[in-house]
Amino acid sequence: MKRFLPLSLLLLACAGCVRINVHGDPDAYLKQLDNSGALRVATYNTSLYDDAAGGLVRRLEAGDENARKVAAVLQRVRPDIVLLNEFDYDPAHRAADLFRHDYLEHAQPGGGEPLRYPYHYLAPVNTGVPSGLDLDGNGSAGGEGRAGGNDAWGYGLHPGQYGMLVLSRYPIDAAAVRTFHLLKWNELPDAARPMRADGTPYYPDDTWTQLRLSSKSHWDVPIRTPRGMLHLLASHPTPPVFDGPEDRNGARNADEIRLWREYISPGYRPWLCDDAGRCGGLDAGARFVIAGDLNNDPADGDGRHEAIVELLEHPRVLRQATPRSEGAVEAGARHAADGIAHRGAAAHATGDFGPGVGTLRLDYVLPSTGMRLLDSGVYWPKTGEPGSDVIDASDHRAVWVDVRL
């Protein structure tokens, strides 16, 4: 499944690269980016979730060590726009405000200078929201703990668990945001309906017609940058595991990824309607960045790899050298010594998922054509390097790109 660019194309791409020292003076960094007309866009699965409703708010109020480490990573990477996955949603935005003001705006141990985001966006997600349906096939709908989570529209122990948060230095056009957490899975043409080994549907018809496609949500967040409007296409598809031979989560993951392919493709799609009832995909001339933990490696691990490969190769997605890090190389070598063999390049991994799984590339920041890629990377220092002591707050790493609109 690995893809290689001709050497001539790589040399041409690198001829325009601008290397940014993210460990240096942040004001100089921001000035350098502003002068070059560049934007740094990032995604980071922060693992800032709690199994109890309101638990993240209480932890942030008390002073959470993992949140300090996440803030330290962001203070080092210093993105202009960042999507945070697995950040619990609360309607009052209390967790978002606490994290911005009490963590990012204060220099953290192992981090950099304070980081301020005047603008943020968050909205309801499907995780933990009761469906009233027996989605796991155990004979009952809902229940306590994991049983209730399995029958939610997206797995979660309370509404909003594993939510998403967008932070931005630049104004977000909140009135123009499009969200797709209500879109039905069966409305996707040729949807990958899970099937049993005997050829019968895993979900009965009356359940299948009600199922929502997005396990969390899909957001189109327009951001007014100094160089024009940028659409951040944010999502966090379900992991393609925790199911059975019917591969229901693998099928859903693939179709959640496919939704973005449909959204950016030409032609009117009357079925593609957002939560406010507006139908159709993204305008042909719009500039966008697809960002998030997409839970699908192009070559390794579980999942239908063709789903992510087809997104990477979409005509409107900019061809680019894959973001990489030396920390991923080091971690990959450690797992290889334990007998975990992968086909993909170790340097491209964006997280370490422990014994039996190893490192995988699951997190993506994919700019559209019509922009120029200046640089990219995965924030994953090697053991003993500055910043290596703050990356263990999550099993994922922050991924970033520098682009010019």
Residue 9 has pLDDT above 90, yes or no: no
Whether 217 is covered by a domain: the verdict is yes
Q: For tokens 């325009």, what's the residue? A: 16
pLDDT of 365:
98
Residue 110 has pLDDT above 80, yes or no: yes
pLDDT of 8:
36
**This prediction's pTM:** 0.91
Confidence of residue 11 (pLDDT cuts 50, 70, 90): very low
pLDDT of 149:
96
Whether 85 is covered by a domain: the verdict is yes
> Among the listed ranges 24-33, 310-319, 357-366, which one has the minimum average pLDDT value?
24-33
* Structural domains of the chain, count: 1
Give the residue-averaged pLDDT of 5-27. 36
Helix (H, G, I), strand (E, B) or coil at 223: strand
Q: 334: domain range?
A: 7-125+160-404
Which residues face 168 on adjacent strands? Answer: 81, 119
Note the Cα 81 to chain centre separation in Å. Answer: 13
Which residues face 166 on adjacent strands? Answer: 83, 121
Residues 6+ apart with CB under 8 A from 198: none
Contact 256, 48 (CB under 8 A): no
pLDDT of 314:
98
Residue 20 has pLDDT above 50, yes or no: no
Residue 199 CA: distances (Å) to CA of 123, 135, 244, 246, 290: 38, 18, 14, 10, 35
Whether 368 is covered by a domain: the verdict is yes
Residue 79 tokens, joined: 């993105």
Residue 1 has pLDDT above 50, yes or no: no
Give the residue-averaged pLDDT of 93-122. 97
164-168/81-87 β-pairing: antiparallel
- pLDDT > 70 in the chain, percent: 91
Whether 155 is covered by a domain: the verdict is no
- Mean pLDDT, all residues of the chain: 92
Burial bucket for residue 185 (CB in 10 Å: 0-12, 13-18, 19+): buried
Give the residue-averaged pLDDT of 210-236. 98
Whether 198 is covered by a domain: the verdict is yes
Whether 388 is covered by a domain: the verdict is yes
Contact 207, 131 (CB under 8 A): no
Residue 258 has pLDDT above 60, yes or no: yes
Whether 12 is covered by a domain: the verdict is yes
Gap between the Cα atoms of 115 and 327, Å rounded: 24
Confidence of residue 37 (pLDDT cuts 50, 70, 90): confident
pLDDT of 5:
36
Positive/negative CA dihedral, 11, 17, 22, 24: positive
Measuring CA to CA, which residue among 279, 307, 313 is closest to residue 191? 307
pLDDT of 34:
57
Residue 278 tokens, joined: 């507006």
Whether 318 is covered by a domain: the verdict is yes
Give the residue-averaged pLDDT of 353-367. 97
pLDDT, one tens digit per residue, over 170-202 is: 999 999 999 999 999 999 999 999 999 999 999
Q: For tokens 């962001």, what's the residue? A: 74
Helix (H, G, I), strand (E, B) or coil at 328: helix
Measuring CA to CA, which residue among 369, 394, 376 is closest to residue 42? 376
Please, what is the Cα angle at 229 between 224 and 230, to 5 degrees?
100
CATH code: domain of residue 243 = 3.60.10.10
Measuring CA to CA, which residue among 63, 52, 115 is closest to residue 84? 115
- pLDDT > 90 in the chain, percent: 90
